[in-house]
Every structure is written in structure tokens, then in C-alpha cells.
Chains A and B, each alone.
Chain A
Amino acid sequence: MGRYDFTPLRVREATKRLFENHKINTMPPWYIAVSGIPPAQTLTRPVMRAPRVKGHKKPSRMFQPMRISYPEDELRSEFFGDHPWELARPRVILENDGKDEKRWDWSRIVQPGKKLDGESVVQRQMYLMEHSNLTKEAAYDQARREFYHYRHLEDVERRISKEEALSTGAYFNKGALEIGMELEDVAYENWKAWATKQIEETKQARAQLYSGPVEQATTELEDEEMDEALNEVQESILATEKGQDALGGVPIHV
């Protein structure tokens, strides 16, 4: 055929032709072995799905593999939709001998050698639906409750073990709150440095724009001068009809 190269599959025939035409003197050691064990069929495409009966506008997917689906898939999506953080739990996918399923008995939710997981809930639910004749929702609720019971036990164990450790002299690293506070402090210091820099920059920009003599807004007054200035301004009351007096050269303004 055109774009196919069948040389590896025709090594036996090629060697036979070479031998018949005296190009080689002896058969190689593999010849009889390969003759007795023919290779498997190649390039066959078995029918995988039902063909399209009518309306042949799109190409048929008859020869394409099908998606594998189980009834548990629906239950899995429901469970992990309700408990998304269960997906964050790490999972070991290494198998020992591939016969785990034969050792499981889903009359209990906890199985030896299998970590309590969303998968346990789903399998327990399937078992209850089959053997206890519960509806899907009832089986889900019961499996869920058993699961929560064991998760609660795990939490209690974790808490007690931490207390025991602390009481026997263990010390732990910083907690999440502490680390968060430290990060916030660092962020605040960074912001403060940025803010002071911004203030300086705006001051400089404003100073550049203003080309006249720099007016000192606050001058250091001595006590006597301060009293005189205060007397001058004392009588002007802002929150009246008369309002602030127009005092141009006064050292202090109200």
C-alpha cells in the first residue's frame, strides 16, 4: 500500500525469497520460530458503535472507541459537587496486585487497606441501593452520615493528638493565622514605603509647577508674638453671617 510500510511484518517472506534466490546460504535462527508464530492481524478497525441509520451528512463514528461510563459516575459527581474539598485530599493511585475489588465488602463503609474517601461513599451507596433496596437519595444520606461519623472521629483524633503532643513538650510551626498576620505586616510596610515615596513625588511635582518664591506656611512665632496674633484674630467668628475677617498679612489664620 501507499503510505504504509509493512517491512517489519514481511521479514519472514523477504528472508524466504533471499534464501530461494541463493542470496543467503542459511536460514537465520529466528526463521522457524517466526514461521510457527505468525504476527497478529494489523490495521483492522472493528465496528465499535452503532452506525448512523440515515442522514449521512456527518462522518460516522462507527469505528471510534466508545466512552466508558458507569452508574457510579453520576453518584460521584453528586458527592463531589456537594463536597468539593474532598477533591483536595491527596489520593494514592498505586495498586498492589490489582485485586483490591475482590477484597472489598461494602456492607461497611470502612475497608481495610483503602482510605476513607468519596469513593467509599459512592460504593456504599451502590451497595445500599442494591441490597437494602433504598432509593438513591436515602442511600446517599445514609452513606453520607456514616462517612461524616468517621471524618468526625478523624478530626477528634487529630485535635487530641495535637494536645497530647503539646503536653509532652512538642512545639509546632506557626499556624495559618500567624503566618497571615506576618504577611499582612510585610504588605503594610511595603505600602507605607510606597505611600511616603508617592507623597514626596507629588510634593516635588507641585514645587516644580509653582515658580514663585516659596511661602512658608507655618513660621515659628515666639510667645509674645503668638499672643498678639491671637488677639488680632480672636474676635473673628467663622460660623456667623459676618464670617471670617479679611486679614491678609496676619501670621495666624483661623
Chain B
Amino acid sequence: QRFLSSEIDSIEASLQNSLKETHSIEAYINSASSVPVPPIDPDTHATTETSSVSDSVARYYQIYKEQEQLIGKIGSTVSPHYQPHTLLTNPPSPSDVTLELLLASGAHQGHHTSLWNPANARYIHGIRHGIHVISLDVTATHLRRAAKVVTEVTRRGGLVLFVGTRPGQDRCVVKAAQLAKGCHLFERWIPGSITNGQQILGRCRTKVVNEKDEEVPGFEEQLYERAVLKPDLVVCLNPLENYVLLHECGLNNIPTIGIIDTDANPNWVTYPIPANDDSLRCAQVIAGVLGRAGEQGQKLRLQAAEKGIITYTPAQDLKLPDQKEAGDESQDILEPNDIELLEKLLAEVKVEEANDGKGREGEEEQSDKQTDEN
């Protein structure tokens, strides 16, 4: 007991000593500078904010603004130049994609001619300095198409996975996923995360959200029995290293978007974007554009939800908690407006089917036209 009290005494004594030290330092600072330091309360050891401090803050801000007006223009004007961080903090949107932007980010530089994959011959503009140069108009076209896909998928409540495993691609991948409210991956893809998802991702938490993205509680038991989520669209910034992921997506019928360089196989992805996968700046531009496209899609979806329109098919085999408690087994949780939406969607699908024949013919005509031109 004597030990404890002496310890407490020593702690108190040390606290008092530190307080005295701070008092002396405060006195010194107050005497030296014009900005007064707020005093420390001895009981609570906190600073006491007084109204005089906020008045002085306003006064100093005014002085600062006057100074800025006087001398702010002194010095050289730095002309607009490339600032790497803006690609991550404020990525370009699909409408900002220009050939000059792609050129500046080095999207046109392919690999040496001896390393090419002849399957992407149509994306190549020519050979310069021994390397294949990718056509930037082709890149822009494919990028806009991929952005449209991302927008439409996110608009219908799809989950997008952004993958970029090369060093330095983590920031742009995370930013894109944040904008599109999807998932990101910048470390190695664990093989089997889709085909063997229950084993690898079984411990991940899932949640039920309503049309306004608010979590709806009460579904824990049902979620415990539910299968693991799979992405509805995968965007891959380096398909050459992630061929396992792309193969798994093919097995599970998941559409993919990927940056296809001159040595990559364009058939590995559903929507290739012929560009330079070795340039970090190029990957950041493309990831930024697709992230912004996802952001637009999410915005459209939430705008529709505000009006009461649900753009997606709700989960079929989930029962509302109160209905489950009541013991109703065959209660359909579909609301009347959901059924209407479903019918509308099915009608769209049927229209797609009817147009499929026409669409295919149209494609063939186009391909014929192209060959004629060539």
C-alpha cells in the first residue's frame, strides 16, 4: 500500500511539474509574440477558449487578406502544367477524353514489334522507333464505350470491381472504386475468389440496402445462408498479370473491361481498351474516366430512387423480417411497382431479342463496309 501511494504521489507531482513548466513557457510566449496563447486550466488540463481569441482570429484573418492583396501577385506566374496528383484527386470524366490527353499520358506507346500479338493489329497506327504505336482515335472510341458500359451497369445497381495490381496503381484503383461505389483490388488476386468464393470470401460481411443505399436491418439470418457476392463488372488495368481473374470471370459469365497493350490478347476481356498498360499516368487516366462514369451511373440511380423508380431487380429470395416472423412462407416481397418494372425490363429484353437478328445483320453490314473501304 505504501508503494501505491508513493506512486500516485509521484504521478501527481510530475503532473504539477509539467503544468508549472507549461505556465512558464506560456508566460515566455505571451511576452515574446503578439499572438496570445490560451491558458491551461489546472483542474481539467484543457485550454480555456475565450471570446478574445476568436476576435483576434478574425482580426488576423483580415490583416492576412489585406497583405495578400498587396503582395500576393509578387513572384513568377507558373503556367498551367501537368500536376500528377490531379489525376487522383480530380480524375477526368468521359467527356474530358481527348486525343491530346491520351497522347500526353503516353497511351499510344505499345511494345516492340517483335513482341506483338497480331490479334490487335487493327488497333495499331504504325511502327516508330521499333515499337508499335496504338491509334489514339481507336483508344478514345473503346474508352468511351467502356465508360458507357460502366455507367449503365452502375445505373442498374451493378457491382463493379476495379483491379490494378501493378505498383503505383493502388491509388487510382481505390479512387475509381470510391467514385463508382464498387470494390477495388490492388494486391494479388487470390485464385478462386469467384469460383470458390464461399471458401475465400465467406467471412466477408454482406448487407441488405434499400433503393437509397440505406442499410435495412433484420436480414442477418438470411444473409448467413446466402451465397457470396460476385461482381457484375470487372475493370482490369493489367490483364496480362491477371489472366486467372479474367478466366474466372469468363467461367461465371461476368463481363470484363481491360487495358489491352500490343502484346496482350484482346479476347481475354469483353470490352478491350487498346492503350499502354506500362504507363502509370495512362492507367490513372483510364481508371479515372471509368470511375467518373461509375459515379455518373450511381447518381442517375439515386436520382431515380428519389422519384421512387427502382432501376434494378430486387433480390428475389429475401423475405422481410416482420413477414418472416409472422411465419408467412410464400410471401412475395415484390411490390406492385417492382412487378411493373420487371415487366418493363423483360419487355426490353424481348425487344433486344427481336433486334438481335437486325443487330447482327447491321454489324455484318458495317463490317462489310469497312472491308470495302479498306
Partner of A95, one of B80, B103, B126: B103
Complex CA–CA separation, A15 to B270 (angstroms): 14
Give B236-263 as 1s and 0s: 1 = Cβ < 8 Å from A's Cβ atoms: 0000000000100111011110000000
- Complex contacts, B125 vs chain A, CB 8 Å: 65, 68
Number of B residues with CB within 8 Å of any CB on chain A: 65
Contact B272 A47 (CB under 8 A): no
Complex CA–CA separation, A84 to B182 (angstroms): 53
- Complex contacts, A148 vs chain B, CB 8 Å: none
Complex CA–CA separation, A43 to B117 (angstroms): 10
Give A40-57 as 1s and 0s: 1 = Cβ < 8 Å from B's Cβ atoms: 111111111000000000
Give B127-156 as 1s and 0s: 1 = Cβ < 8 Å from A's Cβ atoms: 110001100000001100100110011011
A175 CB-CB contact with B under 8 Å: no
Contact A32 B152 (CB under 8 A): yes
Number of A residues with CB within 8 Å of any CB on chain B: 49
- Complex contacts, A9 vs chain B, CB 8 Å: 267, 270
Contact A8 B153 (CB under 8 A): no
A30 CB-CB contact with B under 8 Å: yes
Contact A6 B267 (CB under 8 A): yes
- Complex contacts, A98 vs chain B, CB 8 Å: 98-104
Binds A, one of B6-14, B219-227, B345-353: B345-353
- Complex contacts, A4 vs chain B, CB 8 Å: 267
B200 CB-CB contact with A under 8 Å: no
Complex CA–CA separation, A47 to B233 (angstroms): 34
Partner of A42, one of B100, B141, B157, B267: B267
- Complex contacts, A99 vs chain B, CB 8 Å: 100
Partner of B158, one of A14, A28, A97: A28
Complex CA–CA separation, A64 to B116 (angstroms): 11
- Complex contacts, B345 vs chain A, CB 8 Å: 27, 32
B residues at A contact (CB < 8 Å) = 79-82, 98-104, 113, 118-119, 121-122, 124-128, 132-133, 141-142, 145, 148-149, 152-153, 155-159, 232-233, 246, 249-251, 253-256, 266-272, 312-313, 316, 345, 348-349, 352-353, 359, 363, 367, 370, 374
Shortest beta-carbon contacts, A-B, top 6: A33-B152, A98-B100, A98-B104, A7-B250, A29-B158, A68-B126
- A-B contacts besides A29-B312, A31-B349, A35-B349, 9 pairs, CB < 8 Å: A15-B253, A26-B313, A28-B232, A30-B254, A40-B141, A40-B271, A47-B374, A68-B127, A98-B98
